[in-house]
Amino acid sequence: MSSPVIIYRYDTSPFSVKIDHVLLLKNIPHQKVNVSPALPRPEITDLLGISYRRIPILAIGNDVYCDTSLIASALERRFPASAGYSTIFPPGKHGRNADIGLVKVFSKYYADNVLFPSAPSLLPWEKLPAPFIKDRSLLSGAPIDVQKMVASRDKSLTTLSSHLSLLEEQLSDGREWLFDTDIPSLADISVHFIFDWIKGFRPAKPLFDAQKFPNSLRWLAAVSTFLDKKRATQSAAQPIDGDQAAATIITSAFEPYDVVGFDVTEARRLGVKVGEMVQVAPDDTGRNYPTTGKLVSLNKEEAVIEVQGSKGLLRCHFPRLGYTLRVARPQKL
């Protein structure tokens, strides 16, 4: 019997939609906790003891995964094709093997880190409430100037137009999916959710020009259609509240620590030891919200810490790349 899967998300979060689509593509039954778009989120910080504030996070049993790159990898590993689930790393056409490492790099370091940052300026910042803007300023680590965000839209549009030109070139040979795979891969999901998100913003309307980008718009529509067909054959995620979710997580089994293992060489390089109290935080947005816990597993892809929330003990997983792990600072009295 597989461990219960619970995603903490909110509807207007584009990265929540990304993982919604991964779950849909892999046909993984799950429950969802709808959280606030802005802090506070006591379902996470208090009940689970996790200070990490980016959304989504996802639990598989007692293991909670942070960052969509690690969430996607964990879902693929723990719900493999060999067990009857679909895959986000399908083989290429004409007998090619799956480009797993390349797709991971493309999804994280192109889609998430290069493409996505041009999108948020297209939000209707001038209409957003002040508390939301304050919350996003705290997340980014610097005050958000609404007038500057609005003024930067043309720069964002020309940058996104250049990205669409790259997509157009990639799709110009008539391939159906970005990496010429049998079905959509994580690469398709990781680019699609960004352009599908900004389609709803008025300033982005001129981008979606079928005369300039016919292959890209065909591809966007094809991914949407593929996901819609998947959605029609699967049960919707069951919504539960934070107390129910925490009780399920705390009472579920966790993956044995030796699955991730403990790389003593990498630990030495980081200046940490197994069993030591550490802090983990992203290197970019949310870096001022570290999560503290006991280091129990570490390899080249992820770090695992035991975290104590008000409901009990859980295991929290963070990616190695893009995150800083260090010995926890003693709390001031």
Reduced to 3 states (helix: H, G, I; strand: E, B; else coil), residue 32 is strand
Cα 11 to Cα 40: distance, rounded to the nearest angstrom: 17
Q: Which CATH number fits domain 93-224: 3.90.870.10, 1.20.1050.10, 3.40.30.10, 3.40.50.300?
A: 1.20.1050.10
Amino acid at 62: N
Residues 19, 56: contact at Cβ < 8 Å?
A: yes
CA–CA separation, 282 and 208 (whole Å): 33
Would you place residue 105 in the very low, low, confident or very high pLDDT band (cuts 50, 70, 90)? very high
- Structure confidence by residue, pLDDT tens digits, 190-213: 999 999 999 999 999 999 999 999
Mean pLDDT score of the chain? 97
Q: Flag whether pLDDT at 2 surpasses 90.
A: no
Condensed to tens digits (0 to 9), the pLDDT of residues 115-144 reads 999 999 999 999 999 999 999 999 999 999
pLDDT band at 223 (very low <50, low <70, confident <90, very high): very high
- What CA–CA distance (Å, rounded) separates 134 from 185? 36
Predicted confidence at residue 81, as pLDDT, reads 96
Q: What pLDDT is attached to residue 331?
A: 64
pLDDT of residue 329: 80
Query: Does the structure show a pLDDT above 60 at 34?
Result: yes
Which residue, among 319, 289, 318, has the nearest Cα to 139 in the 3D structure?
289
**Structural domain spans, the chain:** 93-224
- Scanning 116-270, the segments in alpha helix (DSSP H) are 130-140, 146-151, 153-170, 186-198, 214-232, 242-251, 257-260, 264-270
CA atoms within 13 A on the CB side of 153: 17
Structure tokens at 330: 């003693």
% of the chain with per-residue pLDDT over 70: 99
Burial status of residue 178 (CB atoms within 10 A of its CB: 0-12, 13-18, 19 or more): buried
Cα 243 to its chain centre, rounded Å, is 23
| In the predicted structure, residue 253 carries a pLDDT above the cut 60 | yes
C-beta of residue 307 within 8 angstroms of C-beta of residue 291: yes
**Is it the case that residue 333 has pLDDT exceeding 60?**
no
Cis peptide before 40 (omega within 30 of 0): yes
Name the pLDDT band for 1 (thresholds 50, 70, 90): low
The SS3 of residue 302 is strand
Amino acid in position 218: R
Given a cut of 80, whether residue 332 has pLDDT beyond it is no
